[in-house]
Amino acid sequence: MGMMKTFMMLAAMTALFMAVGFIVGGTMGMTIAFAIAACMNLFSYWNADKIVLRMQGAKEVTDQDRNPMIRTFARDTKALAEAAGLPEPKIYIMDTPQPNAFATGRNPKHSAVAATTGLLNMLTREETAGVMSHELAHVQNRDTLTMTITATFAGAIGMLATFAMFFGRGRNGIIGTIAVMIFAPMAAGLVQMAISRSREYEADRRGAEICGNPFWLASALEKIDRGARSIVNRRAEENPAMAHMYIMNPLSGRKSDKLFSTHPATANRIEALRKLAAEMGVDAPSGTPAARRVAGPWG
């Protein structure tokens, strides 16, 4: 189903390019637009993950990294991937104080997970394990291809405006530009349709199974929600089409428009994790707030 949705999305982008190309330049314009769309689709499939990581300012963690916190984070993430039966992903760090994380890649063999420095500083080791287990669940469920290409798809819509302005002539050029202005918000709608909220619930469930304690992720979600609401993620604000990739909406720092909000309510996610914990026979930590220190073997 994930692959079918990806191909449907790529077909929609191609049709959109061709339609505007026809409005601007007739049959020749449509042909040129088709060629551009075909090249972009092919390039996005193989390189969309690299584009996303670069746009978010993510830096790969290497064995030469001297920061002990980052080394521990990388080691724990690799152990979680092994526990999930996944190939070892590439691990990235984003230098921003907002706590957040995402996964990308066209398949489990070519996957990457990224976390912000804010997440490592704000969360406990157990909570971080819960978050990375959630992202590894996206990899295992093969959500990352759809999520990554959707991000580049929404951003590519802006190219249509440039195409209309530079290649349009007279009345048709104006019509093409207006058409793009209409299609741009439609792209945002496609982002919401392509990334189902049920995927987040499923990644929460599988992530809790991978790390072994639903309360670790529940605790992390509560902290991340507070942090995302109060701390601005500059890179995410500059590229709002990628907001759906994060574990929590990163645009909340500036009370941004909810157009790209594809995440379920945090309270509902925490409640679902509490129910899962009961099913798994995991006892709740003492104290009421989910965001308290959660003890465990990672500490």
Residue 22, classed as helix, strand or coil, is helix
pLDDT of residue 189: 62
| Mean pLDDT calculated for residue range 123-144 | 95
Q: What's the rounded Cα separation, in Å, for the pair 55 and 52? A: 5
Residue 259 has pLDDT above 50, yes or no: no
pLDDT of residue 9: 67
Q: What is the mean pLDDT of the chain?
A: 81
| Mean pLDDT calculated for residue range 221-225 | 96
In terms of DSSP bridges, do strands 90-94 and 58-60 run parallel, antiparallel, or are they unpaired? antiparallel
C-beta atoms surrounding 248 within 10 Å: 27
Q: What is the pTM of this model?
A: 0.80
Tens-place pLDDT, residues 15-40: 777 776 777 677 887 888 788 777 87
Of 128, 82, 123, residue with least CA distance to 114: 128
Q: What's the rounded Cα separation, in Å, for the pair 217 and 59? A: 24
Q: What's the rounded Cα separation, in Å, for the pair 71 and 74? A: 5
From start to end of the chain, where are the E strands? 58-60, 90-94, 101-107, 110-116
Residue of higher predicted confidence among 136 and 10: 136
pLDDT of residue 176: 60
Residue of higher predicted confidence among 160 and 54: 54
Q: What's the rounded Cα separation, in Å, for the pair 240 and 250? A: 9
**Active-site residue identified among 126, 127, 135, 222:** 135
C-beta atoms surrounding 151 within 10 Å: 29
Residue 2 has pLDDT above 60, yes or no: no
Q: Is 209 a catalytic residue?
A: no
